A and B are shown apart, each in its own frame.
Chain A
């Protein structure tokens, strides 16, 4: 650095840093859905593979990456579909919070099982409603027998592309949870859903720690 510029004053450093920051921000704005998936999986894999971090730190970081890249309000609404309006506002809030905790914990829990998996992005396509689907494959060695196909569905929310569904081996997570919640709402209403959700999250936390 120094040899290039011939100046190393703090002011100069600050200026360079600011320009770098501005550039990063500009790039981030132009990020396409594919990059979001690539970045997210790179980040997750980097954390999972970093054995120098404690289990708790890794878990926390994976959860952070998931939370930063998944649009939980949208996921929550899609998952509840028509039943969303049967939830009062505080119930909706709680649902979002608990469901997010549940998903993040699910993601975070798998770090013990990390076996040098890598992610290969197979392609992407624009959906008719403006969403994008990014197709990927999780490579798990063993001659490909245990590879897993994962499609990510992304939607632009406030200028940022966020994941709104994971389609694992052609089964949509949103659709799968929707089927489960539908049954539960039908059986016991919103309060029953929240009850089960609370118990599950509490249990999930217990498992993780």
Chain B
């Protein structure tokens, strides 16, 4: 069962996909004003001094003040620019076209995924990724279609941040990147390496890169319109909800190595212990 590595493309969609955690059922919609609820903490927030201990506080976030500020900025950009544009995009384009575009950009991630699977000593995944690229680039018309998935070759999501995690590099503090969203020190480094591996020839004009990239971002955002809205409605502190989801998801993605060897991903059992007063 290779369900774990089911790819959602770049970092942004993955984060947004995890944002749908709060959708409970299957992700869907609600109407809110989109403002993150709960208290806008940050400056002047006392450190978590109450009944918490190491086990309860795995989300080390020493840069919370700065992170919250950047998170707020990103949210403003999303609410006033990206989300409306994505909504228009969804209105203007047919679903299969959006899926095709999403497939196309995913196919372009081939070198990143392949290299990282190799780095993580996952020969079968690497082979599958290679086959996928071959099939989808040809039969799939430059990657717009995904016939490989129909042959049972499901996409996997790998990046250098995960590779570093597999190698034992700790995540470091949580970090919200301007425009790029949730990350941590390790994954930011990984992102820089992955960007260098992207399949865009260095001699191509910057404008030619930015155009498609923008389409990718808008198209991806359009896939998660309902989920993000729902996540905002369902959470009490959207910042913490996203941070936690990002960290959990990354941990699970890095752990998929164990799963491949036939072990199941086991959640922290402590989570399910009812604490008696």
Contact = CB atoms under 8 A, between A and B. Distances in A.
A61 interface: no
Contacts of A85: 51, 275, 277
Interface stretch (B19-27, B123-131, B188-196): B19-27
Contacts of B253: 170
Given A167-B267, A169-B20, A182 B48 contact: yes
A81 B249 CA distance: 21
Interface in B200-247: 223, 226, 230, 233-237, 240-241, 243-245
A13 interface: no
Interface stretch (B52-60, B112-120, B161-169, B177-185): B52-60
A180 B52 contact: no
Interface stretch (A4-12, A22-30, A147-155): A147-155
A68 interface: no
Contact of A197 (B4, B236, B267): B236
B272 A112 contact: no
Nearest to B223: A146
A164 B272 contact: yes
A159 interface: no
B150 to A, nearest CB: 8
Contact of B236 (A111, A129, A180): A180
A2 interface: no
B76 interface: no
Q: Which DSSP category, helix, strand, loop or mixed, fits chain B's interface?
A: loop
A143 interface: yes
Interface string B125-159: 00000000000000000000010010000000000
Given A44-B25, A106-B233, A110-B23, A169 B38 contact: no
A189 B27 CA distance: 31
A204 B234 CA distance: 9
Contact of A180 (B27, B244, B252): B244
A82 B56 contact: yes
Interface string B55-93: 011010000000000000000000000000000000000
A142 B99 contact: yes
B50 interface: yes
B249 A109 contact: no
A196 B39 CA distance: 9
A148 to B, nearest CB: 6
A78 B244 contact: no
Given A147-B6, A179-B59, A110 B26 contact: yes
B95 A142 contact: yes
Contact of B272 (A125, A165, A170, A207): A165
A157 B69 CA distance: 43
Given A147-B6, A196-B37, A176 B56 contact: no
Contacts of A106: 22-24, 30, 230, 233-234
B17 A112 contact: no
Contact of B244 (A83, A113, A147, A176): A176
Interface string A87-120: 0000000000000001100110111111001000
Contacts of B226: 113
Contact of B275 (A81, A112, A146, A153): A81
Contact of B18 (A110, A169, A200): A169
7 contacts: A113-B28, A169-B20, A173-B22, A175-B248, A182-B50, A196-B39, A200-B236
Interface of B: 1, 3-4, 6, 8, 17-18, 20-32, 37-39, 41, 45-53, 56-57, 59, 95, 99, 102-103, 146, 149, 223, 226, 230, 233-237, 240-241, 243-245, 248-249, 252-253, 264-265, 267-269, 271-275, 277
Q: Which 8 A-B pairs have the closest CB atoms?
A: A110-B28, A113-B28, A85-B277, A170-B252, A186-B48, A179-B244, A186-B50, A171-B21
